[in-house]
Amino acid sequence: EAGVAQSPRYKIIEKRQSVAFWCNPISGHATLYWYQQILGQGPKLLIQFQNNGVVDDSQLPKDRFSAERLKGVDSTLKIQPAKLEDSAVYLCASSAGLNGELFFGEGSRLTVL
């Protein structure tokens, strides 16, 4: 069974530029999550989708971050404009149920200069 796929794995941009990350969850998983992991910290939930609807985006900085999950499968997370403090690893995860078992991708590492 294929795992959660993310791309790109690494991205370096200048501040005020934009960037987009893509995620393809495990087939059949209805719930998709984007987490931000800053160096030295644990992952922090940015947004949670159930199919193509948003369940929780309370910690998403909506002035610069946006995410969508068209057709309830793939998802894209965008940052525009980027700030230095956005340097982090962006993790995508998916789950089939609500038992706490999330399946994570390898992450996309963003460096903002």
Partner 1 sequence: GNSVTQMEGPVTLSEEAFLTINCTYTATGYPSLFWYVQYPGEGLQLLLKATKADDKGSNKGFEATYRKETTSFHLEKGSVQVSDSAVYFCALSDAGGGNKLTFGTGTQLKVEL
Token representation of residue 99: 């038992």
Binding mask 68-107 for partner 1 (x = CB under 8 A): -----------------------x-x-x--xxxxxxxxxx
Is residue 110 a contact point for partner 1 (CB under 8 A)?
Answer: no
CA–CA separation, 35 vs 41, rounded Å?
12
Q: Which of 11, 54, 62, 8 is nearest to 32 (CA)?
A: 54
Query: Which residues have a Cβ under 8 Å from the Cβ of 57 and sit 6 or more positions away?
Result: 46, 47, 48, 67
Give the shortest CB-51-to-partner 1 separation in angstroms.
14
CA–CA separation, 51 vs 19, rounded Å?
24
Count residues contacting partner 1 (CB under 8 A)?
Answer: 26
Binding mask 34-53 for partner 1 (x = CB under 8 A): ------xxxxxx--x-----
Binding mask 2-41 for partner 1 (x = CB under 8 A): -xx--------------------------x-x------xx
Q: In the Cβ-directed half-sphere of 65, how many Cα atoms lie within 13 Å?
A: 19
- Contact residues for partner 1 (CB under 8 A)? 3-4, 31, 33, 40-45, 48, 55-56, 91, 93, 95, 98-107
